[in-house]
Amino acid sequence: MAIRPLRAARRALESMARGPYVALVGAATVFVAVFATGLFAAALGGAERLLSAWAGEVRISVYLAPGADLERARGAAAALAPGRRVEAVPSEIALSRLAESLGEEAHVLEGVGPGALPDAVEIDGAGISLEGARELAARLRAVPGADDVDYGTAWLESLERFVARARVAGIALFGALALATAILVSNTLRLAVFARREEIEIMKLVGATDAFVAAPFLLEGLLQGLLGAGAAVLALLGVHGLVVPRLASAFAAAGGLGLADTLPPVLLLSLLGGGATIGLLASALAVGRALRRP
């Protein structure tokens, strides 16, 4: 018997209508897996966007050795960082700024001489990426008299390493969730296959091929996967709409966090495709067992 797609689709829909519990359980299982994966991916995307935003707010400081020529160092830094604002900061000005930043605690600096802090050259890093800040800091080590270069992103680098490790963990998480979900949905779909075992036996007796028998079940699993993944995508969009505005009000850097950063179209399509694939794999496992029985 030849496979007729429309007929197979109709039989799949009829089967889902006759057994709504099986369909709902299968779709709900896929929903949980896709939602968890999507939420993790969205959090990673948002973290990467915030990393870029925070990196763009850094100021790179070149601290000079005692006796170094401050103006010469400023000129060299300006040549190494074209287009960026470069400022020479004598030690007394640096001490004054430190006192201002301490506010009411500035009294702790009483008795500290102006030479306690080194002369420095500060470069505005507005809009720079974390990798760009690292590269610029490496170039600025060539400034005459430079003793140390600080771009204030040590904590950002730690966060960057954490995000990179979390990305690897996310891939492993998706693989484990996909396998576990496929097995769970497969066991659920076996109920639908078992309920139609007599129909399957009759079809096999009159010459139906395995592909003809399996087609409606495969489509049923595919539809359940799409339903679960579609619901998960809608839920993720709802979470984005609720959480991001609150983050923006709490952190200025989160103000530019958009849907393209957390839930880009490629991710949403991948989640839909992943849910459909899980459902298809689950149904293939379920009907494969039935067809292998003597």
What confidence tens digit (pLDDT) does each residue in 230-259 have?
999 999 999 888 887 777 676 655 556 777
CB 281 within 8 A of CB 182: yes
User: How high is the pLDDT of residue 12?
Assistant: 62
Residue 282 belongs to what domain range? 5-54+157-292
What confidence tens digit (pLDDT) does each residue in 198-226 have?
666 666 666 666 667 677 778 888 888 88
User: How high is the pLDDT of residue 110?
Assistant: 64
pTM here? 0.64
The three-state secondary structure class of 258 is coil
Which stretches within the chain are classed as H helix?
Answer: 5-18, 20-55, 70-80, 91-102, 130-140, 154-195, 197-205, 210-250, 259-262, 265-292
**Residues 194 and 113 placed together within one structural domain of the fold:** no
Sole residue written with tokens 């401050």: 70
Question: How much is the average pLDDT of 128-141?
Answer: 79
Which CATH number fits the domain that encloses residue 71?
Answer: 3.30.70
**Residues 117 and 161 placed together within one structural domain of the fold:** no
Q: Which residues contact 102 (CB under 8 A, 6 or more apart)?
A: 108, 109
Tokens, residue 41 = 């991916």
**Residues 116 and 213 placed together within one structural domain of the fold:** no
**Residues 103 and 147 placed together within one structural domain of the fold:** yes
How many angstroms separate the CA atoms of 189 and 207, rounded?
Answer: 24
**Residues 13 and 93 placed together within one structural domain of the fold:** no
What confidence tens digit (pLDDT) does each residue in 170-198 have?
788 778 877 887 787 777 777 666 666 66
Integer-rounded Cα Rg, in Å, for the chain is: 31
**Residues 216 and 277 placed together within one structural domain of the fold:** yes
**Residues 162 and 284 placed together within one structural domain of the fold:** yes
**Residues 139 and 10 placed together within one structural domain of the fold:** no
Question: How much is the average pLDDT of 20-44?
Answer: 84
Residue after which a domain boundary falls, among 110, 135, 152: 152
**Residues 15 and 104 placed together within one structural domain of the fold:** no
Closest CA to 2 of 212, 292, 287: 212
Above pLDDT 70, what percent of the chain? 66
Sole residue written with tokens 């201002």: 100
User: How high is the pLDDT of residue 163?
Assistant: 75
The count of domains in the chain is: 2
**Residues 163 and 237 placed together within one structural domain of the fold:** yes
Higher local confidence (pLDDT), 253 or 267: 267
How many angstroms separate the CA atoms of 70 and 62, rounded?
Answer: 10
How many angstroms separate the CA atoms of 82 and 123, rounded?
Answer: 10
How many angstroms separate the CA atoms of 18 and 291, rounded?
Answer: 22
Closest CA to 45 of 179, 235, 244, 231: 244
Residue after which a domain boundary falls, among 152, 180, 203: 152
What letter would DSSP give residue 65?
P
CB 30 within 8 A of CB 279: yes
Question: How much is the average pLDDT of 124-147?
Answer: 80
Asked whether residue 293 carries a pLDDT value surpassing 60, the answer given is no
Question: How much is the average pLDDT of 248-272?
Answer: 77
What confidence tens digit (pLDDT) does each residue in 49-90 have?
777 666 656 778 888 888 888 889 888 888 888 888 888 888
Residue after which a domain boundary falls, among 105, 130, 152: 152
**Residues 135 and 241 placed together within one structural domain of the fold:** no
Higher local confidence (pLDDT), 137 or 200: 137
- Maximum Cα–Cα distance for the chain, whole Å? 101
User: How high is the pLDDT of residue 135?
Assistant: 82
Residue 88 pairs in a beta bridge with 121
What confidence tens digit (pLDDT) does each residue in 1-15 have?
444 566 666 666 666
CB 221 within 8 A of CB 26: yes
Above pLDDT 90, what percent of the chain? 7
User: How high is the pLDDT of residue 238?
Assistant: 92
**Residues 185 and 257 placed together within one structural domain of the fold:** yes
The three-state secondary structure class of 11 is helix
